[in-house]
Structure 1
Amino acid sequence: MKLRQFALAAAAACVLGAAAPAPATAAINASQLGAAYDATQSNITFRLYSSRATRIELYLYSSASGTQEKARVVLTRGANDVWSASVPVSSLAGYGITGTVYYGYRAWGPNWPYQASWAKGSSTGFISDVDAAGNRFNPNKLLSDPYARELSHDPVTPAMQDGTIYASGPLYRNIDNGAQAPKGMVLAADTQSIGTRPTRAFKDDVVYETHVRGLTMNDPLLPAGYRGTYKGAGMKAVWLASLGVTAVEFLPVQETQNDTNDVDPTSTTGDNYWGYMTLNYFAPDRRYAYDKSPGGPTREFKAMVKAFHDAGIKVLIDVVYNHTGEGGAWSAQDTSTYNVMSMRGLDNPAYYSLTSDMQSSWDNTGVGGNYNTHNPVAQNLIVDSLAYWRDTLGVDGYRFDLASVLGNTCEHGCYNFDKMDSTNALNRIVQELPPRPATGGAGVDLIAEPWAIGGNSYQVGGFPAGWAEWNGAYRDTVRKSQNKLGLEDVSTGAMATRFAGSSDLYADDGRKPWHSVNFLTAHDGFTLKDLYSCNGKNNSQAWPYGASDGGEDNNNSWDQGSIAADQRKAARNGMALMMVSAGVPMMVGGDESLRSLNCNNNPYNLDSNANWQSWSWTTDQSNFQSFARGMIAFRKAHPALRPANHYSSVDNNGNVMEQLRWFKPNGQVADASYFNDAANHAIAWRIDGSEFGDTASAIYTAYNAWSGTVNFVLPWPGNGKIWYRVTDTCNWAEGGNQVRAPGSEDVIGGENTSYGLCGRGTLVLIAK
């Protein structure tokens, strides 16, 4: 069987436990955890943390799998519960190790104390699988180093598909897995360049979410061996820059179980394509490397980063610090059986949140027990690994999966999000990994997925200073206004708030429009094409578009009456509205070319050609790609669309600057009664570009959510100016040149000109 990663849903009420000790700010990886050569390359020092182990042994191997250890070294416990050993390089040959040093650990503790007569595969010393304190030590399980810089392979591989060897429970505790388990590899330090980092302000970014493998697997122009790799992804940097992308956001690239995805290509059972089950927070996933030799993934990832940096593109990565690939209980009926692969076998209560009786995982992620984000040592690993990806691998920022778990303020038997708690992981990350300043410069971009499951975990708008967020309210409001007219009440006031940067969510705590990541689609949901082509999910279909389980039932989608031209128009509206909204737009890879997944909205397990991006397009797809490119270019050309502060702010003299004004279709200024009336579905706004040093003195956008044409009376364009059309998303204008380049815009007219905008259409004008 394959590696099992089932989880128990936590049913207990949240009861606050004793507060965790406040983490002390320290140098990054102050304890120097991991394995590293010393400055003279004469010794290798191995260091890891455990507060509860009573004995830890280092096992050294000459190969990744299939052989027994060449040497064992007992570690010494030192200050701050750091265990260490130093191995002279001169001794390795005597052990029979002449190349890469592979290593792992075995640990004993209160539930399984050490006895000298213990042998691999025996139960000598065993007391219980888990004790009253939550310890799950099992010396029959070789443990990978949480700080290993690379892992040799996945737990389950095509050659070894029995995942039970990692389990510790009544049926599996005595199975020894040393020969097969993943090992850490000792890598020498390197000085490989990651190029010159872009220092662009986050407000000026256009984010492109994609998958390293999926980006290029279908690209016939790349050599076959480069497809689906870091190397291949780096070769698309110039193309993405030509699209206008300024930040590429990769789905998880830290090691996860995916080596067996191709064992049976048409089977989706147990496959992990997205990568949200992290096995190691430092190691680049080996499967995505063309060079899979020891150190190859690290070198190749850095070369990819350099390629993007050379093209002026930031590299952001999706990180998963709310749960790990060790997973939760194997089943609801067997809470004693858990995978023991790394952190769980070193210090289970330190690294994982447990139920109040310390016997099971606490879970409000739905995919495995919560990582113990409020424990200072567990926080150390988060901060240390983030710093490693920043400083060594060249990453410019992070998107945090289910980031509300990082705001947890208790450890066991409870969950409580509190952004004001200075000791939570969210605030510690900001303190020790300074965010990029508003005007750009050094720093990292921090983006939260601001929800989890249950409790007070839905926190859109509720994160502390320094954090941007995926704005789920933006997604839902725009989707409903486009697709649910007559079924959902969406006022023009709600639309206006989202288009202007969601001040209701971010201004109250001093955050800015650019802390809102505006998106209509993400990896976990419909593509842009399917959002406007599907009335519901279709996840049970056959390969290569399925089968997938799960997926959101309430998608606020609509097939536009099955009219293909209207589906394309709706997609243009969505793209245009994102590009003229205050905040940071994010698109999903392939949305620029109307990529479809045939209505599958949860393709997490589809490592298939249908789920990889296509590089062959129809005329309609190429036209939409031109539209997306044009709207991105328009956004980048006009700083008025990328405000550093919320519109109509007060200047240094206390004067209110009328940066933005809202209009009814008849040209009158929109007031509260118009905004709050759910019967109104058309809104327009004029941004004063002169306030931003914009080349256009004004930008005018009209959005008609009605099904029929609405006449918009145009406002004053400025002294001596008239309005020019940049784009009209209506079907009459569809084609490869629908977004006019600067200098080729269409003359429309001056103040009080009437413009008939089609049903469900968007109009963008500039004053010249």
Structure 2
Amino acid sequence: MSAPDPLHDLGVRADADGGLLRLWSEHATAVELVVFAADDLDWAIDRVAAERDEHGVWRARSARLVPGAHYGVRVDGPAGPAHAFNPVHTLLDPYATGLARADDGSWRGVALAPLDAPADRVYEAAARPPAPRIPLDRTVVYEAHVRGFSRRNPAVPAELRGTYAGLAHDASIEHLTRLGVTTVELLPVHAFVSEERLVRQGRPNYWGYNTLAFFAPHAPYATTDAQAAGPAAVRDEFAAMVDGLHRAGLEVVLDVVYNHTAEEGRHGPTFSFRGIDNAGYYRHGVDGEYFDTTGCGNTLDFGGEPARRLVLDSMRYWAGEVGVDGFRLDLAATLGRDEDGGFDAEHPLLRAMLDDPVIGATKLIAEPWDVGPGGWQTGNFPAGFTEWNDRYRDRMRDFWLSDLRRERETGSAGSGIGRFATRLAGSANTFAQERGPLASLNFITAHDGFTLADLTAYDVKHNEGNGEDNRDGTDANRSYNHGVEGRTDDPEILAARRRSIRNLLGTLLLSAGVPMLTAGDEVGRSQAGNNNAYCHDSELTWLDWSWGEDARRLLATARHLIRLRAENPALRPVRYGVFGETTPSATQMDWYNADGATMTIDDWNSPAERTLQYLAASTPETEGPNRILLVVHAHEAPTEVVLPAHDGVDRYVLLWDSAAESPDADDAPGAPASETRPAESRPGERVGVAAQSMRLYRAEGAR
């Protein structure tokens, strides 16, 4: 029999005698539970001195600590550079599942009953639908902001726009399901506050990467009625959103910020952790200054068990009780830093996530870097994690944008096809053979950086509106404005930009790995060149639902590409193939040059070689055989290619051409068969390919 877990059941647990609070603080000398009046959060109606056990867990029981009760803790302890105890401050329980704010600005926890607790509830948890459980190879991630997604959608009732309920509204779900994405990844929804610097400037933290409480949903994203009804109603609305998306077959992944807290630097605000046990929760030196591997002022210390337990308990709560399907771990390298501060792929926290029966059954997506020493760890996380692949992002941007600029300016793109092909095929040079291509979360854009449209319209960032004199945000955008910075009426430049967007979108959705699309990129959303719009809660960052013809054609292209990905398993291998071997659920890949001949070493290494034919054949364990041919041509002038001869291939059926403005346009050879018969070509046939374009064919045998 295993030994009892000394840190089990932290937070509040209600029972017949009221409620029991368990709070960890190794260094405290006294802890007091304070229960407040529901109608006056400054008026204490009960105070209970907590008792400490040998593991640093403090216990306090109150008959008034019932579901709906408001409470806080006061903690005293020794002085010294590592500590920040002050018994005058009322602190927030790190495990609080609901929040309320007192008039003095301090926070109170609100004790909530479990979602499935029998009670007179508006929301009936017992009727919850099953999770969709989308296989990773069929996953298409859609990164979205709860507020920004529906805030301007006229099809959503005004009182629901920008809320959890708005994201679950039929109009929102219809857009997501018609687009074809499978998994909605939400920017942070844990309760958060704006940094003091932003508050002084009168700006909000819009993205939410400044967590206050790891067990409570962000209340301002709930409807006005839910906020007025209190924290239980806010959580009910969140859970109802999860259920609504599940009923539509959509998964919900949370972008979670466990690497730091909202308490900022050593002299920042004290909400919870700093006053409860600064030495135990944060990583710092003997002088009391924080080691900051996050760039946000503080770093939680995952070399110790309490911070690890906090993360695991939070993840179990959101997955096990609230029902979310996975987590995107912000600055995940910090979560794998050991007692000495170095990254360890077998760190106890990372291993515990994988081994936990609840957390390990979810999708685990790592942002595999932070800003500390040795902070870039792409490819180094253990099997079971999918990682944001920044190498993929950078190479694909370079190939379609930076190289195009260079070719126009110098006559040479300066870079060939080899590194592009490596990323297209699943980044086998980054991820271990046993992990396979699904270890790579492929993305061209994310919330942080240019939108897809702005990548093609701006050479430099335009962040003047952020209040930092345009110093914030990256300068390494790998973008290309196609000759004019920002807006233009020039039809040739606009057409070239649209073509580049289609090439980037096609590359993303036709690559091996797990694709992530940023909300709004499917309709060409712009942020006017701002590549760090973290402090704008406005029309600059909200999705615009008033689509013009260009947006509708791009949306049709995105939908078509996602459907083609779903229909062709050769585009989504589960494993890397091994030359000369048959690997189940891997894709056999054959590479040809423009003449239809097998690529040579010279072809791969030549900076001038920017035309490639990629024939992928797959026989999945659960689906029939499938073969596709992808033609990539990245020169300024059109060309001709000889379609390759391949055993068992008698013809190529054109499915998509990025030179066409829309897959269902009259001039688009990839129009649905019910409207226009797709073009067919034969192996050995010479076909024309437009400048800077891609084509996808289905390779077929004899009928």
Alpha-carbon distance change, 717 to 651 in structure 1, aligned in 2, over 3 angstroms: closer
Letter of the structure 2 residue corresponding to residue 103 of structure 1 = Y
Deviation at 1:693, TM superposition (A): 6.9
SS at match of 1:605: coil
Indicate the residue corresponding to 2:265 in structure 1.
328
Alpha-carbon distance change, 206 to 258 in structure 1, aligned in 2, over 3 angstroms: same
Alpha-carbon distance change, 532 to 517 in structure 1, aligned in 2, over 3 angstroms: same
8 Å CA contact 2:560–2:663 kept in 1: the answer is: no
Question: 1:214 pairs with 129, 148, 166, which one?
Answer: 148
SS at match of 1:645: coil
Question: 2:483 pairs with 541, 561, 573, which one?
Answer: 561
Deviation at 1:203, TM superposition (A): 1.6
Letter of the structure 2 residue corresponding to residue 576 of structure 1 = G
SS at match of 2:613: strand
Q: 2: CA distance between counterparts of 1:279 and 1:655?
A: 46
Deviation at 1:754, TM superposition (A): 1.6
Q: CA RMSD in A?
A: 2.8
Letter of the structure 1 residue corresponding to residue 597 of structure 2 = Q
Indicate the residue corresponding to 1:239 in structure 2.
175
Q: 2: CA distance between counterparts of 1:369 and 1:56?
A: 24
Deviation at 1:428, TM superposition (A): 2.5
Q: 2: CA distance between counterparts of 1:248 and 1:698?
A: 29
Indicate the residue corresponding to 1:5 in structure 2.
none
Indicate the residue corresponding to 1:533 in structure 2.
457
Letter of the structure 2 residue corresponding to residue 392 of structure 1 = E
Q: 2: CA distance between counterparts of 1:742 and 1:65?
A: 67
SS at match of 1:585: strand
Deviations 1:290-331 (A, max 9, x none): 1111301211111000011101111000001111111113xx
Indicate the residue corresponding to 1:578 in structure 2.
508
Indicate the residue corresponding to 1:3 in structure 2.
none
1:495 equivalent to 2:420? Answer yes
Letter of the structure 2 residue corresponding to residue 217 of structure 1 = R
Deviations 1:147-176 (A, max 9, x none): 0011114x8xxxx6xxxxxxxxxxxxxxxx
1:754 equivalent to 2:689? Answer no
1:765 equivalent to 2:697? Answer yes
1:77 equivalent to 2:52? Answer yes
Alpha-carbon distance change, 502 to 278 in structure 1, aligned in 2, over 3 angstroms: same
Deviation at 1:466, TM superposition (A): 1.3
Q: 1: CA distance between counterparts of 2:461 and 2:39?
A: 42
8 Å CA contact 2:617–2:627 kept in 1: the answer is: yes
Deviations 1:393-434 (A, max 9, x none): 1011000111110110125xxx31121x443x2222222256
Q: 1: CA distance between counterparts of 2:585 and 2:132?
A: 34
SS at match of 1:416: coil
Q: How many residues align?
A: 667
8 Å CA contact 1:207–1:248 kept in 2: the answer is: yes
Q: Which stretch shows the higher mean deviation, 319-328 or 687-696?
A: 687-696
Q: 2: CA distance between counterparts of 1:649 and 1:466?
A: 25
Question: 2:93 pairs with 120, 123, 145, which one?
Answer: 145
1:279 equivalent to 2:212? Answer yes
Q: 2: CA distance between counterparts of 1:548 and 1:268?
A: 15
Letter of the structure 1 residue corresponding to residue 342 of structure 2 = N
8 Å CA contact 2:259–2:331 kept in 1: the answer is: yes
Alpha-carbon distance change, 100 to 200 in structure 1, aligned in 2, over 3 angstroms: closer
Deviation at 1:628, TM superposition (A): 0.2
Alpha-carbon distance change, 139 to 490 in structure 1, aligned in 2, over 3 angstroms: farther
Q: 1: CA distance between counterparts of 2:378 and 2:494?
A: 34
Alpha-carbon distance change, 736 to 281 in structure 1, aligned in 2, over 3 angstroms: farther
Q: How does 1:480-491 map to 2 (within 5 A)?
A: 480-485=398-403, 486=406, 489-491=414-416
Q: 1: CA distance between counterparts of 2:587 and 2:191?
A: 50
Deviation at 1:741, TM superposition (A): 3.2
Q: 2: CA distance between counterparts of 1:670 and 1:305?
A: 48
Q: How does 1:603-614 map to 2 (within 5 A)?
A: 603-614=533-544
Q: How does 1:171-320 map to 2 (within 5 A)?
A: 179-191=104-116, 192=125, 193-235=127-169, 236-257=172-193, 269-290=202-223, 291-292=226-227, 293-320=230-257
Deviation at 1:697, TM superposition (A): 4.1
Give the alignment's TM-score, normalised by structure 2. 0.89
Q: 2: CA distance between counterparts of 1:104 and 1:140?
A: 12
Q: 2: CA distance between counterparts of 1:417 and 1:658?
A: 33
Q: 2: CA distance between counterparts of 1:27 and 1:532?
A: 58
Alpha-carbon distance change, 596 to 255 in structure 1, aligned in 2, over 3 angstroms: same
Q: 2: CA distance between counterparts of 1:687 and 1:745?
A: 23
Letter of the structure 2 residue corresponding to residue 465 of structure 1 = A
Q: Which stretch shows the higher mean deviation, 682-691 or 62-71?
A: 62-71
Alpha-carbon distance change, 657 to 270 in structure 1, aligned in 2, over 3 angstroms: closer
Q: 2: CA distance between counterparts of 1:729 and 1:503?
A: 26
Alpha-carbon distance change, 733 to 189 in structure 1, aligned in 2, over 3 angstroms: closer
Q: 2: CA distance between counterparts of 1:623 and 1:28?
A: 57
SS at match of 2:184: strand
Indicate the residue corresponding to 1:32 in structure 2.
9
Alpha-carbon distance change, 539 to 689 in structure 1, aligned in 2, over 3 angstroms: same
Deviation at 1:472, TM superposition (A): 0.4
Alpha-carbon distance change, 250 to 732 in structure 1, aligned in 2, over 3 angstroms: closer
Letter of the structure 1 residue corresponding to residue 457 of structure 2 = S
Deviation at 1:73, TM superposition (A): 1.1
Alpha-carbon distance change, 277 to 684 in structure 1, aligned in 2, over 3 angstroms: same
8 Å CA contact 1:43–1:86 kept in 2: the answer is: yes
Letter of the structure 1 residue corresponding to residue 478 of structure 2 = N
Q: 1: CA distance between counterparts of 2:31 and 2:315?
A: 27
1:87 equivalent to 2:62? Answer yes
Indicate the residue corresponding to 1:333 in structure 2.
none
1:716 equivalent to 2:645? Answer yes
Q: 2: CA distance between counterparts of 1:613 and 1:624?
A: 15
Q: 1: CA distance between counterparts of 2:457 and 2:663?
A: 18
Letter of the structure 2 residue corresponding to residue 152 of structure 1 = A
Q: 1: CA distance between counterparts of 2:643 and 2:242?
A: 46
Indicate the residue corresponding to 2:72 in structure 1.
104
8 Å CA contact 1:28–1:387 kept in 2: the answer is: no
Q: How does 1:327-726 map to 2 (within 5 A)?
A: 327-329=264-266, 337-355=267-285, 357-410=286-339, 415-419=341-345, 421-423=346-348, 425-432=349-356, 443-485=361-403, 486=406, 489-508=414-433, 510-541=434-465, 550-562=472-484, 563-648=493-578, 659-690=588-619, 697-716=626-645, 719=648, 721-726=650-655
Indicate the residue corresponding to 1:126 in structure 2.
none
Letter of the structure 2 residue corresponding to residue 35 of structure 1 = V
Deviations 1:84-126 (A, max 9, x none): 111124xx7xxxx9x9310011100011xxxxxxxxxxxxxxx
SS at match of 1:625: helix
Letter of the structure 2 residue corresponding to residue 74 of structure 1 = A
Letter of the structure 1 residue corresponding to residue 368 of structure 2 = P
Q: 1: CA distance between counterparts of 2:359 and 2:321?
A: 18
Letter of the structure 2 residue corresponding to residue 455 of structure 1 = P
8 Å CA contact 1:317–1:395 kept in 2: the answer is: yes
Indicate the residue corresponding to 2:488 in structure 1.
none
Indicate the residue corresponding to 1:53 in structure 2.
28
Q: 1: CA distance between counterparts of 2:641 and 2:327?
A: 42
| Structure possessing the higher relative contact order (Cα contacts under 8 Å, 6 or more residues apart) | 1
Alpha-carbon distance change, 477 to 275 in structure 1, aligned in 2, over 3 angstroms: same
8 Å CA contact 1:317–1:399 kept in 2: the answer is: yes
Letter of the structure 1 residue corresponding to residue 509 of structure 2 = M
Q: Which runs of 5+ in 2 are unaligned?
A: 117-124, 408-412, 485-492
Alpha-carbon distance change, 87 to 548 in structure 1, aligned in 2, over 3 angstroms: farther
8 Å CA contact 2:336–2:343 kept in 1: the answer is: yes
Deviation at 1:696, TM superposition (A): 6.9
Letter of the structure 1 residue corresponding to residue 508 of structure 2 = M
8 Å CA contact 1:650–1:656 kept in 2: the answer is: no
SS at match of 1:446: strand
Q: 2: CA distance between counterparts of 1:480 and 1:618?
A: 29
Letter of the structure 2 residue corresponding to residue 399 of structure 1 = R
Give the alignment's TM-score, normalised by structure 1. 0.82
Letter of the structure 2 residue corresponding to residue 740 of structure 1 = A
SS at match of 2:241: helix
Q: 2: CA distance between counterparts of 1:28 and 1:534?
A: 55
Indicate the residue corresponding to 1:136 in structure 2.
84
